Amino acid sequence: MRAEASDAALLAAIARGGAGLREAERALCRRYAPRIRLYGLRHLRDEDRARDLVQTVLLAVLQAAREERVREPEQLVRFVLGTCRNAVLRLRELDRRAEPAADEVLVAAAGTETPRDPVNAAVLLRCLGALGDRARRVLELSFHEELESDEVASRLALTRGNVRVIRHRALAALRACLDAPVREGA
Amino acid sequence: MSCASPLSWETLVDWWVRDLDEAAASSVEEHVFGCEVCSGVASRVAATAEALRTMIPPVVRPARLEGLARAGVRIFENPIAPGQTSDFHFPASADLAVHVLGGLALGTGAKVEVTLRSLASGTVLAHVEDAPFDARRGAVYLACQRDYAQLDPDLVAEVRVGKDPPAAQYTILHHF
């Protein structure tokens, strides 16, 4: 199975079973695991819970694919997103970790490693130090204290619009700094 | 891999910090989920935001330290008095070291400023206005991580309480 196979082709291969089953399942997991993790991080704000969500959702999607329950293969994106939404709602209702099903084959296929985006603490500190005081403060209040824009604006005597612009630019500058190769002697 | 109508960095930042109304957020979410290009950019926004959200700041709140300890992080405390030079070896058994900058008269509403400088160059490594502190112990907690081995190893921490008094100085010589 080529990496660029369409969703519909992957679903068909999974439904057929046989020799191509595992490879198709892996390809589907590789494609969707990062997006599910992103969804989980945004809604759950916890890396471990986001990873649990990846497994839970992929297990459900693979099970549905095997049983040919994805009615519109070209709409797999919507199916996966809908499964994410339901799983997060369930997680919130239960307020506990979801427990993946005990199908070892599915667990193995769904266990796709997604990157953890590790950031070196010293580099982060250096990059934050390169920002202006106001930009750094907006980031601190937005991300450490998780205040909403109105609250950040009130604390810093800014308008909400100012806060958003400062945050956009500061986050972009921080990303660029984190991505920059370390200068010799820096 | 291409996208006919890529979402801007600004939109994705607003989406990540939940600064969009529900309809707009839902629309962005659906686009990101189905688009490899925008999903990639959104991942960069997320990685940057998460790095900030989960970072242990250089001057750390007592409650955060308690939370880290509860989560199993092995924390080593290094108490230092004002004017003292601490020759500090990062313990192999610790995940995080905390320099306890003590000997401070700290009322509950005290205004505390902390400046960290390189001892060699005088460069300011970090400056924290309105720094958190532990009034009960009369101390400010300075978090020290193994990754900091990449920074200048020897630093001076200046802690100013209020406006008038001179800053208390603590010199720390790190060995990682």
**Residue B147: which CATH number?**
2.60.40.2820
Closest approach of A175 to chain B, Cα-based (Å): 6
Nearest to B126 among A125, A139, A148 (CB): A125
Same domain, B30 and B95: no
Q: Is the pLDDT of residue A57 over 90?
A: yes
CB A66 within 8 A of CB A45: no
Domains in chain B: how many in total? 2
Closest approach of A184 to chain B, Cα-based (Å): 12
Same domain, B76 and B135: yes
Q: Is the pLDDT of residue B53 over 70?
A: yes
Predicted confidence (pLDDT) per residue in A95-129, tens digit: 655 455 555 555 555 555 555 566 788 888 888 88
Closest approach of B175 to chain A, Cα-based (Å): 15
Tell me how many degrees the CA angle B103-B106-B111 measures, rounded to the nearest 5.
Answer: 125
pTM of the entire structure? 0.79
Same domain, B117 and B47: no
CATH no. for A121-179: 1.10.10.10
Closest approach of B60 to chain A, Cα-based (Å): 11
Range of the domain at B36: 9-54
The stretches of chain B forming alpha helices (DSSP H) are: 9-16, 22-34, 36-54, 62-70
Chain A positions in Cβ-Cβ contact with residue B39 (cut-off 8 Å): 34-35, 38
Phi-psi region of B101 (alpha: psi -120 to 50; beta: other; left: phi over 0): beta
Residue A92 confidence (pLDDT): 79
Same domain, B39 and B87: no
Contact A81 B29 (CB under 8 A): yes
Of B98 and A137, the one with more pLDDT: B98
CB B105 within 8 A of CB B137: no
Residue B37 confidence (pLDDT): 93
Q: Regarding beta strands B154-161 and B75-80, do their DSSP bridges make them parallel or antiparallel, or are they unpaired? A: unpaired
Q: Is the pLDDT of residue A170 over 80?
A: yes
Same domain, B44 and B26: yes
Same domain, B18 and B47: yes
Exposed / middle / buried, residue B132 (Cβ in 10 Å: 0-12, 13-18, 19+)? middle
Question: Does residue B155 sit within a domain?
Answer: yes
ipTM of the complex: 0.80
Chain B positions in Cβ-Cβ contact with residue A122 (cut-off 8 Å): 145, 147-151
Alpha carbons A182 and A184: distance in angstroms, whole number: 6
Nearest to A143 among B44, B49, B127 (CB): B49
Question: Does residue B4 sit within a domain?
Answer: no
Question: Does residue B3 sit within a domain?
Answer: no
Alpha-carbon separation of residue B5 from A36, A51, B68, B130 (angstroms): 22, 29, 42, 43
Same domain, B68 and B99: yes
Same domain, B23 and B87: no
Same domain, B162 and B75: yes
Predicted confidence (pLDDT) per residue in B143-168, tens digit: 998 888 878 889 999 999 987 678 89
Question: Does residue B39 sit within a domain?
Answer: yes
Q: Which of B45, B52, B144, B146 to mutate to test the interface with A (most CBs of A within 10 A)?
A: B52
Question: Does residue B120 sit within a domain?
Answer: yes
Give me the total of CB pairs closer than 8 Å, taking one residue from chain A and one from chain B.
107
Question: Mean pLDDT across the stretch A5-32?
Answer: 90
Q: Is the pLDDT of residue A185 over 70?
A: no
